Amino acid sequence: MNGPFTRAAALSLTLLGAAVLTACDTTEHPQQQASQPLPKVGIVTLEAKPFTLTSELPGRTAAYRVAEVRPQVSGIIQKRLFTEGSEVKAGQQLYQIDPATYQATLKSAEASLLAASTLSKRYKLLVEEKAVSQQQYDDANAARLQAEAAVEQARINVKYTKVLAPIDGRIGRSRVTEGALVSNGQAQELAVIQQLDPIYVDVTQSANDLLRLRRELADGRLERAGDNAAQVSLRLEDGSDYQHKGTLEFSEVSVEASTGTVTLRAVFPNPDGVLLPGMFVQASLTSGVNQKAILAPQQGVTRNPKGQPIALVLNADNQVESRVLKAERTAGSYWLINEGLNAGDRLITEGLQWIQPGITVDPYPAQNVNQSNTAETPAQ
């Protein structure tokens, strides 16, 4: 039974089994392909909406007015008449300089004036009677005028012994104490007064952003924001919002060479003294209005190996397409799209890791994006 017939029969059975298995694989594979589900992806349908662009810019506060108090006469400080760090009014006395020598000079000048006036009056009568020459009378009259000027100068010096506040504001620490010798025109100030209500906020914007904004306004891609364009809001260093709105005053006429930035100055009311000079803040400035803005969720925007922003969208047949975008700024958790996406596009924001361009997918409304009114998010 181990002869050639037995071996031939075994080989025939083996070939028959292989043929049956092959036939089974051929018939079952299409069924498996047909039953495989399509990848599911979450999509957001983009809309064109009016959007007010604002710029978040760093800034620093500066006093509205600054007055460095210096003596206008020399002498010894007798009294300091203010409390350091308090509010002072224009004309309020701050220091008293010893007036004794200036009062004596005033009395001497008044005596000289009396003598010169008496002589001038006498010569006026004598010149009419031809008892003195006209030249003598003119010299006496000139001496009287010089004596009057000397008296006026002496009175001014006596007045300057009282050092007064030139402006309203908050005064800092005193640089001198009683008994200190001060002199007219000295480099060291006695104290510094700063007016803090209102207060300046100086913010910096890159010249490149400023040029881009002007170009978009000129091309009609942006519209001017109207009366509110001059309003500025602030965020303080601790993250809180400043309760008062400011007004944009002017922009610097030149670009800072070392940083490539332009300085913008705004004025803010500061009735409670919350803002102090030198504080760092974030200012929000209204730039313009884009009437047909496309805002794409950041979850749906990635970058290709070249670093370009890209997005995956669905066409009418639910096939995935790749788009290269042009997006120059963010708007909260969204990208403000300049080119690459249009209203009505279905942007994929979920399931990106399972798909690639060209395949067909099964879309559903994305759950990882808040699809409320995105146009209220401020641009940065």
| Cα separation, 176 vs 226, whole angstroms | 51
Identify the CA nearest to 172 among candidates 77, 80, 295.
Answer: 80
Q: In what order do the strands lie in the sheet with 181-182?
A: 162-164, 93-97, 75-80, 181-182
pLDDT more than 70, % of the chain:
83
| Cα separation, 367 vs 299, whole angstroms | 11
| pLDDT for 13 beyond 50 | no
pLDDT tens column, 242-294 = 999 888 877 767 788 888 888 888 899 999 989 999 999 998 877 677 788 88
Could you name the CATH architecture of 99-160?
Orthogonal Bundle (1.10)
CATH topology (fold) of 54-63+195-289: Elongation Factor Tu (Ef-tu); domain 3 (2.40.30)
Highest mean pLDDT out of 35-44, 154-163, 196-205: 154-163
The Cβ-side half-sphere exposure at 137, using a 13 Å CA radius, reads: 14
Write down the pLDDT at residue 336. Answer: 87
Mean predicted confidence (pLDDT) in 82-102: 95
pLDDT tens column, 311-338 = 999 999 999 999 999 887 787 788 888 8
Read off the tokens for 189.
Answer: 């100030």
| pLDDT for 238 beyond 70 | yes
Greatest Cα pair distance in the chain: 181
| pLDDT for 191 beyond 90 | yes
Write down the pLDDT at residue 131. Answer: 84
In the chain, where the domains are located: 40-51+292-376, 54-63+195-289, 71-97+161-188, 99-160
Write down the pLDDT at residue 261. Answer: 84
Q: Span 71-97+161-188: which CATH code?
A: 2.40.50.100
Average pLDDT, the chain: 83
Read off the tokens for 134.
Answer: 């006209």
The reply to whether the predicted model has a pTM over 0.85 is no
H or E element at residue 312: strand 309-314
| Cα separation, 147 vs 266, whole angstroms | 52
Mean predicted confidence (pLDDT) in 203-214: 78
φ, ψ at 316 (rounded to 5°): -65, -25
| Cα separation, 286 vs 284, whole angstroms | 7
Give the chain's radius of gyration (CA, Å).
43
* Sequence letter at residue 280: F
CB 343 within 8 A of CB 300: no
Write down the pLDDT at residue 216. Answer: 64
Please tell us whether the domain made up of 40-51+292-376 is placed in CATH 1.20.1250.20. Answer: no
Window from 2-16, 74-88, 160-174 with minimum mean pLDDT: 2-16
Write down the pLDDT at residue 178. Answer: 94
* Helix axes 100-128 and 134-160, enclosed angle (nearest 10): 160
Read off the tokens for 68.
Answer: 């460095």
